[in-house]
Amino acid sequence: MKNLHFKSCNFSLLLLAFSFLLFSGMKCKKDQTGIDALPPATQEGKETFGCLVNGEAFTPKGSNLGGSTLSSFYQYLNTTTAKGFYFNVACNRR
């Protein structure tokens, strides 16, 4: 009889410890919004991009298996219809 009480006490303590670990790991994290959600500005070419679209942060997301999510180029055009420097940025969010 003592042995059964000891096993049930151990099970209760184990269940209590597991519950504590489970709920302590589930803390509420406030999502950043607006300008705070954008990546920090850099001038080192770290290939980061973010902008505000209708007041909400837009950052490219995706996997390398699906292709590049961010591309940019800067070029000079000297044609009969277009002359000058052009800068293009394209990104995807999957």
Domain regions of the chain by residue span? 2-91
The structure's pTM equals 0.50
pLDDT value, residue 87:
93
What's 82's DSSP letter?
A: -
Instruction: Tell the residue number behind the tokens 């919004």, with chain if given.
Output: 33
pLDDT value, residue 44:
86
What's 35's DSSP letter?
A: G
What does the alpha-carbon distance between residue 70 and residue 60 come to, in Å, rounded to a whole number? 7
Backbone angles phi, psi at 90, to 5 degrees: -135, 135
What does the alpha-carbon distance between residue 42 and residue 48 come to, in Å, rounded to a whole number? 8
Backbone angles phi, psi at 12, to 5 degrees: -65, -45
10-residue stretch averages of pLDDT, the chain, 94 residues long: 57 70 62 81 84 87 71 90 91 79
pLDDT value, residue 23:
65
pLDDT value, residue 35:
84
Give the amino acid at 27: K
pLDDT value, residue 85:
94
What does the alpha-carbon distance between residue 38 and residue 43 come to, in Å, rounded to a whole number? 15
